[in-house]
Structures are given as structure tokens and as C-alpha cells.
Structure 1
């Protein structure tokens, strides 16, 4: 790729991000954010795991084709949402409900991509996490293909693979740690634990040696070999319903549930980032986990955004107009 083309792409991406702004719908649909918040609140009250689901949905949407609502499309087996990397992603009905309510108030104004970003923001706040503002103005994408999700970060990725996949999206090692810490809320299926517990390499099979020996029997009891792979367990042991930095303490102590989380403690750079939130001067003078997380998720929410004529506004999030 020529230097000239790189500069043009960088300028174009910068312009797109610049078109997002806080309060984008203040005049065209002033109730937009309050409607999304009310729908999210109702959904979480009826099903506690919804907060984690909406946060994960935002991440998966942004990592494929940018934050453009492409994961929401349901147009057959080749739709992006059916990709292997998206398995277990849920929460689509919450976005669709918010969209339906918005369409009755201001038809064709609020994008599904913005609803996803706003819903994640509200879910974090409702899980006792930090409240923050979301720049809006995203347009919905016009492409959804299962093959485009082939490079999604995976729980079995090495730390080098994880860092490379985040870097490809313009995200740093610090962003990798902070966005992985979103696992502080929610559960995972035993399906994602089988390899780590019973067939881990390069340790010659068996269990991942990074698992704290005191934790291993508990994990195996929750996810027995040849057991129900759909059985679920908390990702942040001891604090699965509250958004906090407890997940990072678990990772430090060998109590990480997901393999990809555990790998953050293997790498010198990512380990030092985790340690910085537990230093002697923290929390009075050290870095703020909450503030840094907000910076990272807002940054993630601007990956590959489509604005202006580069996208559209769907009337139904699951289908192209």
C-alpha cells in the first residue's frame, strides 16, 4: 500500500470519526437516548445476564466491518451473525425492541449501530459501572457476510494473536486489557472451557498450568469432561453481576476463567498494565480503571464507523431496507 493511499485512508477515517458527536440526535430525535435506556433497563430487570450480552454485542459488532450494526442482520445462513466467532452472542431482541419504539417516535432517524453503542453504555451503568457519554451519528452498514468475521479474537488465541488483532483495529495493548476486563460481568459456556481444562497445549494436554491449583477442581466440577457443554459459569468468579476491576485481580491470582484472559498475565506488557491498577498508590494516585475503561470503549466504538452517505438507517435492525 502506498504512503499516499495510507494518508488518504487515515484522513478519511479521521473525518468519519469526527462526524460522530455527543447529542447527535438532540434535535432530530431528542428522546432517542432515554428510549434506549428504558428498554435496556427493562431487559436487565427481567434477565440479569442482559448487561453482559449487550456489552459483548457491541464488541462483536465493532470488530467486524466496524461499528455498523452488521452483526444484527438476519438474512440466511451466510449472515455475519452465524459466524463461528460470534457463537453465543445474544441480545438482538433488545436492540430490535428499542429500534421499534424509536421508529414510532422518529422514523428513519436513529441507526441500529448507534442503538448498539448506547445500549452497551447503559448496560455498563446499570451494572454499577461508570456512566459516560457516547458520541453518536453512526450509519448502518449495507454488508453482512459470515466470512467477514473470520478474524474475530478467540478465547484460544495466543497473546501475540490477541495483540495483533487489536492493533489491526487501531487498539493498543492497554485497550486489550481494559476491553477484556469487560468480562467482569456475565457468564460463559463450558464449551469454551473444554480445551483449557482437558486438552491444553503446548503443556502436553491436561489443564492449562496457569490455572491456580486451588481453582482447578472447581472449574472441573462445573465443567466435567464429556459433560453438558451448554452449562454456564461466571467469568469473573465472585463478582459476576457487578462491573468492577475484580476480574483483573482474578487474572493476577490465576483465577481467570477464559483462556484469553489468563494470557494477559503471561505477557510482560499486559501484565504490567494489570498490575498498575493495584499499585501502592492506587486508587488515590494511580490510574483509574473506570476512567481508562471508558476511554477504551469509546475508542472501540469508533472503529470503522460509517457516517453520511457511507451507510443508511434501517427501519428494522435485522434486515436491510
Structure 2
């Protein structure tokens, strides 16, 4: 068997395993595969087509969609509360707490779905589908089922973000506790951290590793390159943005993150903390060595994350516009 054929077979086996895990977890989940099969058969294809088009025009958007999904699920559960705009009665919404990209892109996807199935598909499910499709487009993943049936929340609170989103300076035990509070385990923590293989970050999120002295766990050459872009705090140099991975293509979701991690070429304290226990370090090494296995694990973990505190049935609502509550 040719090397390329073996690689493809390994990827397919990994996704078959991920699908089996997803099916097993689905038995306890209020979500279901092909939820819109009768009510809006075109839903997932519409999201996929628009998402692919958006990423084709701007390759940075794959990471933006995945990050939006993560932030949405970790704050109030996967209820699209991250998408709500401030109002006179609620000026302090989640999106005011941290600068994220992709809101207009989600609105574009929603408009396309509304044009084929008005009032049927939730913004929460659109976020989930777009994150899945981003992994396919930006990471070369085989497509995988993303269970759906989520409904949209009506609450959004700035302070919920501060209490729930893991800080980039968290130590390992605190990261584990943060994920455990969401029903995710250590394996999920290490696996989902691979999303830092793509996307961007402001220097302020990791400048403490560069100044006043360089963190000894960071590769010295890598640190020196970062310091050419990131000014010292208080120097009036602003807060530039750098790619999460300065080692490879910053717009590709891949297991390269783990190779960067084991060589000290990652940005955040929370990234490097994964090397501070023999278990997480070994899992990182395994993920670095076996791309197909990591891809299958990432798909399963993304599905699992998508089940956090979901609203289903008659709870919540289905918004017509993702940035405003339906009155």
C-alpha cells in the first residue's frame, strides 16, 4: 500500500473511532444527528457552503469560527449567547468582555439558512456546524457528525466570561478544574488545546513570558522572534497581534501544535503547563507523533464540548437574527 493510501486509511479509521465515541455519548445527550433532516434538510449543507466560501476568501476565519464556538460553550453553555449585541437594558454582554472575530460572518451564514428555512435553525447550531466545517476546511479533517437540536439563550453577561473562560496564565491543575466544571476531562483539555495550532493572539496575553526576563521554558530563539513584534509592557508600543504558531502555516488546524509544545515554541503559560505532568506530556507527545489519531480525538472532543449545558426542546428560542433576542 502506498504511503499516501496508508495515511488516508489511518485518518478514516481515526474518524470511524471518533464516530463510535460520538454515537456512544449521544445516547445520553438531548442532541441528535441530522436533527433538521425533516424540518430543514438543507441546513447543514447551507452552513457548510457559506462557511467554506468565507474561509476561502479569508483563511483566518477557520480559527475565528472555532474560537467563537469554544467561547460560547464555555460561558453559559452552547446557546449562542456570545453573539448577542449590547442593548440599553443589557449593555454588558459577553462580546464586550473579549475581542473576538467572526460575528458578521455568523450573521451571513444565518441569513443564508433563514432564506431556505425561516425560523427553524438556531444560531447555537449554526456555530456548532461552522466550527465542525472549519475543522474540515482548515484542517483537512474528514467530515464528521455534529449533533444538533440546540436552542438559543436569551441571557448574556459580561462577568460570566471572566468567571468561566480559562485564563492563558492558568496553571495545569486550575485548567483541569476549569474543564472538569464543563464536563470535560484531561484528555479533552490536551486534545482541544491543539486548536492553538492556528489563529492569532494579542501580545498582552503572553508578554509576561517575554519581559522582564524570558520564561526559561520558552525556546530562546522563538522568544527573541516574538520580542521583535511584541513591545515591553508600558512602552507605548500598543498591543500587536501575532500568529498562534510562528512555526508553520498559522491558518491550518493540525497536530503541529504538539511539536511546538514539546520544543517550547508555544505562546501561553496555559499551553506550556501541559508539559508539567507526565500524563499530559505523554499525551502531547503521542498527538505530535500520530496526526490521524489526534484528528479523530479532536473531532470527538469538539462534539463533546458542543453538548455543554445545551438548551433543547422548548427552552430558549430560535433567533431570527443571531445578534438580537427574538421578542
TM band (smaller chain)? 0.7 to 0.9
Paired with 1:15 and 1:41, the residues of 2 have a C-alpha distance of 27
Aligned residues of 1:139 and 1:311 also touching (Cα < 8 A) = yes
Question: Which secondary structure state, in structure 2, belongs to the residue aligned with residue 188 of structure 1?
Answer: strand
**Normalization by structure 1: what TM-score?**
0.87
Aligned residues of 1:17 and 1:305 also touching (Cα < 8 A) = no
1:285-296 correspondence to structure 2 within 5 Å: 288-296=293-301
By how many angstroms is 1:214 displaced?
2.3
Partner deviation per Cα, 1:61-84 (whole Å, 9 max, x = no partner): 00011000010011233112112x
Aligned residues of 1:190 and 1:229 also touching (Cα < 8 A) = no
Q: Please, which of 219, 229, 241 is the counterpart of residue 251 of structure 2?
A: 241
**What residue number does 1:184 align with?**
197
**What residue number does 2:119 align with?**
108
The change in CA–CA distance for 1:16 and 1:141 in structure 2 (over 3 A counts) is farther
**Normalization by structure 2: what TM-score?**
0.85
By how many angstroms is 1:229 displaced?
3.8
Partner deviation per Cα, 1:248-292 (whole Å, 9 max, x = no partner): 01000111122211111122221121122346xx57xxx811111
Q: Please, which of 215, 220, 226 is the counterpart of residue 222 of structure 2?
A: 215
Runs of 4+ in 1 over 4 A off after TM superposition: 14-17
**What residue number does 2:207 align with?**
194
Question: Which secondary structure state, in structure 2, belongs to the residue aligned with residue 233 of structure 1?
Answer: strand
Paired with 1:78 and 1:239, the residues of 2 have a C-alpha distance of 36
**What residue number does 1:32 align with?**
43
State yes or no: 1:81 paired with 2:95.
yes
By how many angstroms is 1:197 displaced?
1.1
Question: Which secondary structure state, in structure 2, belongs to the residue aligned with residue 319 of structure 1?
Answer: coil
Partner deviation per Cα, 1:173-197 (whole Å, 9 max, x = no partner): 1111111111111121222122221
Tell me the matched-pair count.
294
The change in CA–CA distance for 1:266 and 1:229 in structure 2 (over 3 A counts) is farther
Structure 1: stretches of 5+ with no match in the other structure: 1-13, 200-205
Aligned residues of 1:16 and 1:305 also touching (Cα < 8 A) = no
**What residue number does 2:61 align with?**
50
Aligned residues of 1:190 and 1:228 also touching (Cα < 8 A) = no
Q: Report the RMSD for the aligned CA atoms in angstroms.
A: 1.9
**What residue number does 2:157 align with?**
145
**What residue number does 1:118 align with?**
129
The change in CA–CA distance for 1:246 and 1:168 in structure 2 (over 3 A counts) is same
Paired with 1:278 and 1:180, the residues of 2 have a C-alpha distance of 12
Question: Which secondary structure state, in structure 2, belongs to the residue aligned with residue 18 of structure 1?
Answer: coil
Aligned residues of 1:188 and 1:232 also touching (Cα < 8 A) = yes
Paired with 2:94 and 2:200, the residues of 1 have a C-alpha distance of 23
Paired with 2:240 and 2:203, the residues of 1 have a C-alpha distance of 6
